[in-house]
Structure 1
Amino acid sequence: MQISLTGHHVEITESLREYVQGKFSKLERHFDQIHNVHVVLNVEKLQQKAEAKINVNGAEIFAMSENTDMYAAIDALIDKLDRQVIKHKEKNTKH
């Protein structure tokens, strides 16, 4: 899985990069056919936004979350993506 991390109005520190990679490894445990991930971290006034687009076999999954803390926004993003990836995996197994 290839992760590209982009920051808008925020500097991507090494700790942020490691945190994101650690969280996305959790997704790979559920579904191993994730090809690449594009994560955008954004700061607008007091809101921290995290959004991600995942390319999997036959689909593209997108999620976005906002919070006052960047790490909490990343956690919420991972939870949303986790549900969507599991739903996509179940769809594939039914067909």
Structure 2
Amino acid sequence: MQLNVSGHHVEVTDSLRGYVESKIEKIERHFDLVSGVHCILTVEKLQHKAEATVNVNGGTIYADAIEEDMYAAIDGLVDKLDRRVRKHKEKLVDHHARESHKRRYG
């Protein structure tokens, strides 16, 4: 998986980059068909914004989060991405095949 972290009006330090990498690994554990993640960290006045675009097999998933602390914004972003990736994965699963299997074999 390719991870690109950039900053807008904020310097992306090694600790911020490492924190984003460790949190994004959580998404990759849930859905292994993630090909790339582009994360943008932005500071506007007193608001810290984290936004990310995740390229997955079958589409693109976008999420953002705004908090007063950058680390809290990253946490909120990863929570949103995790929910959206799991929802995308559920859409890809063929639930009808599972139902026919239950009817056939009890």
The two structures have a TM-score, normalised by structure 1, of 0.98
Gaps of 5+ in 2: 96-106
Higher-Rg member (1/2): 2
Q: Are 1:44 and 2:49 counterparts?
A: no
Q: How many residues align?
A: 95
Q: Are 1:63 and 2:63 counterparts?
A: yes
CA shift digits 1:51-78 (9 cap, x unpaired): 0000001110000100000000000000
CA RMSD in angstroms comes to 0.8
Q: Give the corresponding residue for 1:92.
A: 92
Q: Are 1:81 and 2:90 counterparts?
A: no
Give the match's secondary structure for 1:38: strand
Q: How far apart, in 1, do the equivalents of 2:15 and 2:79 lie?
A: 20
Gaps of 5+ in 1: none
Paired amino acid for 1:77: L
CA shift digits 1:26-63 (9 cap, x unpaired): 11110000000000000000000000000001110000
Q: Whose strand proportion is higher, 1 or 2?
A: 1
Q: How far apart, in 2, do the equivalents of 1:24 and 1:85 lie?
A: 12
The two structures have a TM-score, normalised by structure 2, of 0.88
Q: Give the corresponding residue for 1:21.
A: 21
